[in-house]
Amino acid sequence: MKNKLETFKLHDTAPQAAQVQSFNGNGHLVEVRQAIKTFDSPAGRFTALKGIDLDLNQGEFVAIVGKSGSGKSTLLNILTGIDRPTTGEVLVGGAPISRLTEDQIARWRGRTVGVVFQFFQLLPTLTVIENVMLPMDFCNTFPGRERQARAMQLLDKLA
């Protein structure tokens, strides 16, 4: 059975893609070149991504579509720096994320990417506001005394 993974560009909200500073200077916000991802397990090696090429521009709203097990989560993980491809290149906003060290990629992810997980990944031992403030603590993005007010502003937007 063939595992097919497709991306659909649903609509383009920002035609000014040329403003994006990309690694290759060609205006793409996301570039994936020949990304292969293999997983090794006791049952053997499994290739989840078999050479993905993908260009996304700023403002595009894109859905990745494929049946269960076709590699959607694996692709999202390598686009967001949660995982890295076995071989191939991933550039996001000019950052060569497939080549960064673990420390660099953690810093890049914390400052650059927002991921809404299916199961949210909130920490149950923290309050709502503490959960919102946690990434600011990790990334040192706002002065400590401003973080609570910033978190309240963000939560207000959801109310």
Q: Count CB-CB contacts under 10 A for residue 153.
A: 10
Contact yes or no for 90/78 (Cβ under 8 A): yes
Binding span for Mg ion by CB under 5 A among 33-41, 48-56, 68-76, 84-92: 68-76
Of 66 and 135, CB closest to ligand ADP = 66
Q: How many angstroms separate the Cα of 60 from the Cα of each of 7, 30, 66?
A: 11, 11, 19
Give one DSSP letter per residue of 132-155, joined into a string: HHHHHHHHT-S-GGGHHHHHHHHH
Of 46 and 138, CB closest to ligand ADP = 46
Residues 9 and 60: their CA atoms lie apart, in Å, by 7
Cβ neighbors of 25 (< 8 A, separation 6 or more) are none
Write out the binding residues for ligand ADP, residues 56-85 only, by CB under 6 A: 66, 68-74
Shortest reach from residue 96's CB to ligand ADP, in Å: 22
> Which amino acid appears at position 74 of this protein?
T
Of 121 and 127, CB closest to Mg ion = 121
Write out the binding residues for ligand ADP, residues 25-54 only, by CB under 6 A: 39, 41, 46, 48
Q: Which residues, listed in sequence order, are joined to residue 39 by a DSSP beta bridge?
A: 46
Residues 152 and 146: their CA atoms lie apart, in Å, by 10
Out of Mg ion, ligand ADP, none, what residue 125 binds, judged by CB under 5 to 8 A for its kind, is: none
Q: Tell me the number of residues near ligand ADP by CB under 6 A.
A: 12
Binding span for Mg ion by CB under 5 A among 9-17, 29-37, 69-77, 149-157: 69-77
Of 70 and 98, CB closest to ligand ADP = 70
Write out the binding residues for Mg ion, residues 84-123 only, by CB under 5 A: none
> Which amino acid appears at position 150 of this protein?
R
Residues that bind ligand ADP (CB under 6 A): 39, 41, 46, 48, 66, 68-74
